[in-house]
Amino acid sequence: MANIFNDYFVTLGKRIANNITSPCSHKCKYPVAYNGPDHSFVLHETFPEEVEAVANRLLECKSVRMNDIPIHILKSCINALSPFLAQIFNLCIRKSTNPKSLKCAQVVPIHKGGKKTAKNYRPISLLSPINKIFEKLLYSRLYSYIEQHNMLSKHQYGFRSGLSTSLAVYDTHENFLQNTENRLTTCAVFCDLSKAFDTLDNEILLWKLEHFYGIRGLPHKLLTRYLQDRQQYTVVGGYRSTTQGVTLGVPQGSSLGPHYLPYMWMTPHKHQTLLLHSLLMIDCWQYPVPIPPTYNMEWIVNCKKSMNGWDIISCL
């Protein structure tokens, strides 16, 4: 049973991605002349006090991987461990590497409802608590850099400090009211990306991080190592499956992986105007647009086609 679930989860992203019609490789999907930002991301090293602070903020979840240190035990001795962990993390930063043992995920299937078949289970990845600390250190630096240079759309509500889906609903409501006052009809196109975390193309993501966000050199190499050579096994009823490699997507349950998805929204081509005016969450968006009286239904259909074009180009 464990092997059946693991085979399904490992191949899910590939099967969905194969149904996405993509005209060419990611290297020719975007303007070759686009050089990206002038600034570059600098990944600073950490220190024992920061490691200790991050560890103490970890949620004490009941589930851990087999043979892992429970988080509450890790917290109890973090004062003594933090100098050594800081040394290990700094070595990973200097060498631009991410140890394989930290990237192997134990997957727990969570039933979503309906018939008890593999497709009705959500894979939740359990990773090493040590890895979670390292991921949070990386994310805090990456997020500060992105926010400092104002590189995300102001309408990006997912995984951002001070923003939430409640504010997205409020923004939508305000748009509708404003259009009504201006005697305009409002059309809203809603899009939910199917299995976005499972189908996220790592090559396209890494290309965008380098060319659109200025994440180059050693930091880019480290993030590449983080995404590459990932493995997983599934545990069902105490039985463990064989370990298999994962080539697509990001692990759900990791501290850094899901935060990559908002960076896929940036795209400096003909779809950029559309996305800049969309309300963006994590794996879905909505595009509320006022329709002037002179426009007809064909114009709305063209908006939807433009959004579909972005999906195909980004392989989501």
Query: Along the chain (316 residues), what's the average pLDDT of each consecutive run of 10 residues?
Result: 91 77 49 66 95 92 80 93 96 93 88 86 87 92 88 73 78 82 76 73 84 89 90 90 87 70 49 44 52 58 58 51
Q: Are 267 and 275 in contact, with CB atoms under 8 Å apart? A: yes
Question: Do strands 239-240 and 230-236 pair parallel, antiparallel, or not at all (unpaired)?
Answer: antiparallel
Q: Are 231 and 241 in contact, with CB atoms under 8 Å apart? A: no
Q: Is 196 helix (H, G, I), strand (E, B) or coil?
A: helix
* CA atoms of 56 and 162, how far apart (whole Å): 22
Q: Are 109 and 90 in contact, with CB atoms under 8 Å apart? A: no
* CA atoms of 102 and 66, how far apart (whole Å): 13
Note the helical H segments in 189-281. 196-199, 202-211, 217-227, 272-276
Question: Do strands 244-246 and 104-111 pair parallel, antiparallel, or not at all (unpaired)?
Answer: unpaired
What integer pLDDT is reported at residue 289 of this predicted model? 56
Q: Are 91 and 156 in contact, with CB atoms under 8 Å apart? A: no
* CA atoms of 107 and 242, how far apart (whole Å): 12
What integer pLDDT is reported at residue 274 of this predicted model? 42
Q: Are 307 and 190 in contact, with CB atoms under 8 Å apart? A: no
What integer pLDDT is reported at residue 305 of this predicted model? 60
What integer pLDDT is reported at residue 85 of this predicted model? 96
What integer pLDDT is reported at residue 281 of this predicted model? 47
What integer pLDDT is reported at residue 237 of this predicted model? 87
